Amino acid sequence: MMGLAADLARGFFIGSQVSNAAREGALFAAHHAATETSRTQFETDTKTVISQEEQSSTSCPSGSLSTTIAYSSTPTIPLPAGSSTTETITVSCTYTDYIGLRPDGGSQKVATTVNALLVN
Amino acid sequence: MTRTSKSSGAIRRRPLRRGRRQGGQAVVLFGLFSFALFGLVGLALDSGHAFDDRRALQGAADTAADAGMHMVLLDYHNQSTPPWSDSQISSKVQSLVNASKTAASGITSYTAYYIDETNAVYPAGCQIGHLGSGGACGASATLTLCTSAAQSSCIAGVQVTPKYTHSTLFLSVLGIKTTTEAATSQARYNLGAPSTSGFLTFVVWHSNCDNVYNTGYVPDSDPAGEGDQDPTAVGDLVRVTDNHFFKNNSSGDSMVTACGSNNESKSSDFKGGFNGSPWGYLANTTVEQCDSNAGSIPVSPTETTINANDCIDAAHGSPGNTPHDCNVYIMPVIDAVFGSEPELHVSSFMAMKWAGCTIPADTNDDYIVQWICQAGSNSSTCIPPASIASVTSGFYQ
């Protein structure tokens, strides 16, 4: 029971940290779409922000964090004045339970999807 | 435990049949406690569900409010031609709230209002997207943006409140069929509170002194509405790239670290600027002075005011001499407002001219003509260099 509780608590913690990292990434994206030099750089920087935010929490094992970025319409970066698009950021973390007593197996995955409006 | 009874005057004891009597008691207790336990488990599950939804709603509210504020801020930065209308802002906020449905399990309704710099809804009772539609929104209300700190009855941001009503899983047994969660988020720009201690006023001067404002700082917008994006009018915003002044030359932007190799080649160099702290003006460490000596200066940064030997006209100055042409050089006086959204903007203009020349008529109210005293100048018609900082203080809006 203790082991199960520990794994559940850790899963909840990782989920919370992943959500926080995703929101940080969305906030960064929303405020930098007009000033980044290219879409590639923009996405790289967004992922860096997410990665750094997550790493600082030391919850998701190294190399287990995944970030995908999608758009309602692929934008030009820097975003032209008067234009907008919705960016969808999905951050996921795959990890293994310490105890592994959960009925759904020892390998777990938590994911958070957030949206950001890129506007200029 | 025994039980006694009286019968025919004799006391008779008989053993208690414990099992059957207490077994019935347990059934009753189990029924009562299980009902309570079921209620508690149901409360825990439904409450957990509600809290989870509440957190997701808060994320949706934060995202939508931030996006709405961002559009309002863009309008503030481009007041002459605001890029986003009330209906467009409403549409974007709504689409963003709807896009958050997945995360928030479902959003059944939402409200969105504009807020002023005091966080109060403005216009009161009027949802965004309805400005000018009459009633609480007024018949002719428009996006009236806040333009000063702590201003009320204007628009500086957005408040969004999504709601989600869903059926309960267990609490319905107790008669609680549905629960409604709501989350509110406000986002607004903050113009900060100007104060004399927080103000930073400085003059950006160019080595070529040609009144061309395309090197050193990045024009940001045109709130003064004179139709360009150069800081050529009081109120225009400017910003500093990466907290430094940059020069813009044929090889690209680079930070100015020194004046040119000689006075005549400094046409793209700056002599004033920041270093390090975004808004910190570090006395004696950041302002480079191009002295009158040929060569790669710099006279070790020593000045926080404009001195007599500053080469405000390098093209005409010659080594060992002060500039001495009679052109008037207009330079923007920049001040910084300290707040959560620090801004640099043009607070006035200063015209400089060698004091040996005739004072020109002030034909433009935007320009304030002052003199810099040079050696031999008539002090009644010029101001000493050391006084310039205090003189510019008088230019505050």
Domains of chain A: 2-119 (3.30.1300)
pLDDT band with cut points at 50, 70 and 90 for residue B302 = very low
Percent of chain A whose predicted confidence (pLDDT) is above 90: 31
Span B94-137, pLDDT tens digits = 888 887 755 445 677 889 999 998 889 999 999 999 998 988 89
* 0.80 exceeded by pTM: no
In eight-state DSSP terms, residue B241 is: G
The residues with which B270 forms a beta bridge, in sequence order, are B206
Residue B5 to residue B3: CA distance in whole angstroms: 7
Distance from the Cα of residue A86 to its chain's centroid: 16
| Chain A residues lying within 8 Å of B102, measured CB to CB | 113
Q: Is the peptide bond before B384 cis (omega within 30 degrees of 0)?
A: no
Residue B339 to residue A82: CA distance in whole angstroms: 27
Give B68's contacts (C-beta < 8 A, 6+ positions apart).
B89, B92, B93, B112, B128, B157, B158, B160, B187
Residue B303 to residue B300: CA distance in whole angstroms: 9
ipTM of the complex: 0.83
Q: A27 and B103: CB-CB below 8 Å? A: no
Span B150-169, pLDDT tens digits = 788 999 999 999 988 888 88
Residue B219 to residue B216: CA distance in whole angstroms: 10
Whether chain A has a CB inside 8 Å of the CB on B83: the answer is yes
Q: How far is B173 from chain A (nearest CA, A)?
A: 28
| Chain B residues lying within 8 Å of A116, measured CB to CB | 63, 67
The residues with which B10 forms a beta bridge, in sequence order, are B7
Token pair, residue B6, equals 């009286």
Q: Are strands B185-188 and B246-249 parallel, antiparallel or unpaired?
A: unpaired
Give B165's contacts (C-beta < 8 A, 6+ positions apart).
B108, B178, B179, B180, B181
Nearest to residue A18, comparing CAs of B103, B195, B7, B335? B103
Span A5-37, pLDDT tens digits = 888 888 888 888 899 899 999 988 988 888 788
Report whether B89 contacts B70 (CB < 8 A).
Answer: no
Residue B124 to residue B289: CA distance in whole angstroms: 54
Measured between CA atoms, the residue of chain B closest to residue A35 is B241
Token pair, residue A82, equals 């008067």
- Mean pLDDT, residues B24-46: 82
Span B179-235, pLDDT tens digits = 888 889 999 887 755 433 333 344 443 333 232 332 333 344 444 454 544 444 555
